């Protein structure tokens, strides 16, 4: 993340791809579109990031 060190520091990014949804839900790695959709839906259902969800790092 040499191009955006401030973003890397804010979201604790040490490798890419890393996706952060709504400031509270994040996951590392590439996957199918269905996986991304699941993470976005989980984040929408729990915007505070309080419920554990499979595959999410909160």
Q: What are the tokens at 23?
A: 């400031």
pLDDT band per the 50, 70, 90 thresholds, residue 7: confident
Question: CA angle 38-40-44, nearest 5°?
Answer: 115
CA nearest to 17, candidates 9, 3, 28, 6: 28
Average pLDDT, the chain: 79
The model's pLDDT over 12-29, given as tens digits with 9 standing for 90+, comes to: 888 788 888 877 788 888
d(CA 7, CA 9): 5
Q: How far is CA 57 from CA 2, 3, 11, 26, 45, in A?
A: 23, 24, 12, 6, 16
- For residue 31, the model assigns a pLDDT of 84
Q: Which sequence spans correspond to the domains of the chain? A: 5-45
Say whether pLDDT at 6 is over 50: yes
């Amino acid at each position: 993340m040499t191009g955006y060190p401030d973003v890397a520091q804010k979201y604790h990014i040490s490798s890419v791809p890393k996706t952060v949804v709504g400031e509270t839900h994040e996951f590392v790695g590439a996957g199918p579109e269905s996986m991304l959709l699941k993470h976005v839906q989980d984040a929408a259902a729990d915007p505070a990031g309080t419920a554990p969800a499979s595959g999410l790092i909160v």
